[in-house]
Amino acid sequence: MASSSNDKVLRGGSGPTDARANALRALAMDAVQQANSGHPGAPMGMAEMAVALWTGHLRHNPANPHWADRDRFVLSNGHASMLLYALLHLSGYDLPIDEIKRFRKLHSKTPGHPESGLTPGVETTTGPLGQGFSNAVGFALAEKMLAREFNRPGHEIVDHRSYVFLGDGCLMEGISHEAASLAGVWGLNKLIALYDDNGISIDGAVQGWFRDDTPARFRAYGWNVIGPVDGHDVLAVGQAIAQAKSSNDRPTLIVCHTTIGRGSPGRAGTAKAHGEPLGADEIAKTREALGWTAPPFEVPDNLRALWNARELGKAREAEWNARLAAYRAAHPALAAEFERRMRGDLPADFNATLAAAIEAFGAAPEAVASRKASQKVLAALAPKVPEMFGGSADLTGSNLTDFPGCGERHVSYGVREFGMAAIMNGVALHGGYIPYGGTFLTFSDYSRNAVRMAALMKLRVIHVFTHDSIGLGEDGPTHQAVEHVPSLRLIPQLDVWRPADTLETAVAWASALQRRDGPAALALSRQVLPVVATPAQAEAIARGGYVLSDVPAGQTARAVIIGTGSELQFALQAQTRLAAEGLPVRVVSMPCTNIFDRQPAAYRDQVLPQNLPAVAVEAAQPDFWRKYVGRDGGVVGIASFGESAPAADLYKHYGITAEHVAAEVRRCCAR
Ligand SMILES: Cc1ncc(C[n+]2csc(CCOP(=O)(O)OP(=O)(O)O)c2C)c(N)n1
């Protein structure tokens, strides 16, 4: 039978094991045992696959994990982290044996799941199944785009592959469908996925819950499928990779039949091997079965020598450096641009571009929806920031993420919010691009874990979330975000912007582009919004919260109204009403609470004086604002789901009005 998944009885490798693979097995089982937690089964099962790839094909330089043209390797089944740590250690990365001994310990470089930015050679943080695979699609996409942009005849400076290991868990996740489908459409032939087809997941043999014909599924996506091969046969896997490398139009899936926990007489082929230390007795039996005599954490010198990739890596990078030098000689400006892009520096004239855009917006103020404002900003900035790479999950005409002349710098991800977000993470990790992508704010829930991963990895990824409240009107509660902005604000390291007009939107975009240590989400309105800010306030806007409109000179504010986005207008209207009643109040615009919170206390106290009552207005779940207005302050928001009706009727129905804001201020001032 051709299908591997319908033929789970077929298992790879009953013959002798490879000594290089046994070094990986030994380190994995010993480290998991010492940590008294972890996942030995997958590293032991994928050991020969790893030998085949890492010693036979992977182009990398352990001394320089940041070499721009290295092959990327992603361990999508991140619970198999000890496999990756053993590979990095043995290949010669800066990951000494002491770090392997400290597997899963506080502040080690060997955390439970691989974390990029922490361990040299770890390309992306994996663990949430399916996302690593999707990141790899992003890596391959970035490679392809960068090659198209920078390679010139006779000068192939961008020419590397993206390899990914994945298991049943990754393939069961829906996101694998989204990402694989796109990889097929995009013809990412330099993407090579190796499937650890061991028929086991946590609950046992996957037959009961995973009977997909995986090879047929991937063929249907337009992939090149190889195998099943015996995943314990280094030669067979190596040959399959060689074959995959010759695919010139399609990504490749290599189905590798393996046995989880291979080598362990008592645990091999069982779910118990997945996530439990083997135990001292079973480790002893495994050592005997494998003929592994070295003590724990020791690897014989002859095997270390076979694994060490430093010399080869150095030579490979030197060869590429020579190619880059030839490229630089032939195309100096392009070479400088390539290096800038890979460093992640914005164009030298970015500040001037931004200043000109802000001046132009100020000179011709226009009431537009903030999604439209965003498109105006894109039109002003993106042509001068060629690394901006946009897209939308089939809502381009609504999200307004395209811009004149964007061409191939804007892609249609189809209706795949989660896949889009995880692919963007891969693109950002690869370097050379600043990805941004759009969907409706309410569907940020679909992409949420990838947004979280971008924040965890401190990636420069920008989410354009439009239709950000009941203000979208008739589409009704399924489409109306209520809790989304407050809950996104809770994700550490994510900057959530809810700008009120074109100037605030321009500053939001600029802040997101300039930020090198985290993602941003822009919550944008469907409905038209009035102009509120002036170019003189641009610097203040960039602080996340600022005094938009203070009391007249000589008067003292009795209260502060805080507003964001589409409700800022109600704050200003309430201020006018209250002024007429002799109650002077200050209006603070708070487009990004996360950035405001990072300002010095003195600034925050100056904007929001501790002694003044405060009222916040935002068409969202109100609880978030308590941290600014306190128990006694007021919040005008919406604590339920919305309804299907024209926006103006909904605002009235839910009491998100200037009248209500003014009433709340009066109430607070009367206390
Ligand atoms: C999104 C997500 N859901 C659940 C988990 C918890 N989890 C970790 S491994 C695993 C089973 C994975 O099975 P498989 O890929 O076959 O790994 P193997 O048993 O072969 O090691 C699960 C459910 C997770 N890490 N990510």
Q: Where are the domains of the chain?
A: 19-313, 350-536, 540-670
What is the 161 CA–ligand 1 centroid distance (Å)? 25
540-670 has which CATH code? 3.40.50.920
Q: Stretch 649-657: mean pLDDT, rounded?
A: 98
Any catalytic annotation for residue 417?
Answer: yes
192: pLDDT confidence band, cut at 50, 70 and 90?
very high
For residue 260 and ligand 1, the question of a CB distance below 6 A is answered with yes
Establish whether residue 406 lines the binding site of ligand 1, counting it when its CB lies within 6 angstroms of any ligand atom: no
Instruction: Give the integer Cα–Cα distance in Å for 406 and 528.
Output: 25
Give me the DSSP letters along 135-157: HHHHHHHHHHHHHHHH-BTTB--
Mean pLDDT, residues 487-498? 98
Residue whose CA is at the smallest distance from ligand 1 atom 9: 79
Which atom of ligand 1 is found nearest the CA of 80? 21
Query: Is any ligand 1 atom within 6 A of the Cβ of residue 28?
Result: no
Residue 393: closest CA among 374, 421, 367? 421
Q: What is the CA radius of gyration of the chain?
A: 28
Residue whose CB lies within 8 A of the most ligand 1 atoms, among 83, 171, 201, 207, for a mutation test? 201
Q: Going by CA atoms, what residue is nearest to atom 8 of ligand 1?
A: 79
359/415 Cα distance (integer angstroms):
37
Mean residue pLDDT of the chain comes to 97
Evaluate: CB of 277 within 6 angstroms of ligand 1: no
Q: Check pocket membership of 231 for ligand 1, CB cut-off 6 A.
A: no
Average pLDDT over residues 262-272: 96
- The closest residue, in CA terms, to atom 12 on ligand 1 is 169
What is the atom index within ligand 1 of the atom nearest the CA of 45?
20
Q: In the structure, what pLDDT confidence band is assigned to residue 17 with cuts at 50, 70 and 90? A: confident
Catalytic residue among 276, 417, 567, 618: 417
| One-letter amino acid of 25 | R
Q: Which CATH superfamily is domain 350-536 in?
A: Thiamin diphosphate (ThDP)-binding fold, Pyr/PP domains (3.40.50.970)
pLDDT grade for 14, boundaries at 50, 70 and 90: low
Using a 6 Å cutoff on CB, does residue 162 contact ligand 1? no
Helices (H), 228-349: 234-245, 272-275, 280-290, 301-307, 310-330, 332-343
User: How high is the pLDDT of residue 8?
Assistant: 45
Is it true that 19-313 and 540-670 share their CATH fold? yes
Query: How many angstroms separate the CA atoms of 234 and 21, rounded?
Result: 9
Binning pLDDT at 50, 70 and 90, where does residue 4 land? very low
79 in contact with ligand 1, CB cutoff 6 A = yes
Q: Does 6 have pLDDT greater than 60?
A: no
Predicted pLDDT of residue 13: 66
Q: Is the pLDDT of residue 93 over 70?
A: yes
Q: Which CATH number fits domain 19-313: 3.40.50.970, 3.20.20.70, 2.40.50.140, 3.40.640.10?
A: 3.40.50.970
Distance of alpha carbon 441 from alpha carbon 523, whole angstroms: 7
Question: How many whole angstroms separate alpha carbon 484 and alpha carbon 521?
Answer: 11
**CA nearest to 522, candidates 621, 412, 441:** 441
Condensed to tens digits (0 to 9), the pLDDT of residues 572-585 reads 999 999 999 999 99
Using the atom order of ligand 1, give the atom closest to the CA of residue 172: 15
Contact 490, 670 (CB under 8 A): no
Ligand 1 center from residue 420 Cα (angstroms): 22
Query: What pLDDT sits at residue 128?
Result: 98
What is the percent of the chain with per-residue pLDDT over 70, rounded to a whole number? 98
From the list 536, 19, 473, the residue with the least C-alpha distance to 234 is 19
Q: Which pLDDT score is estimated for 16? A: 76
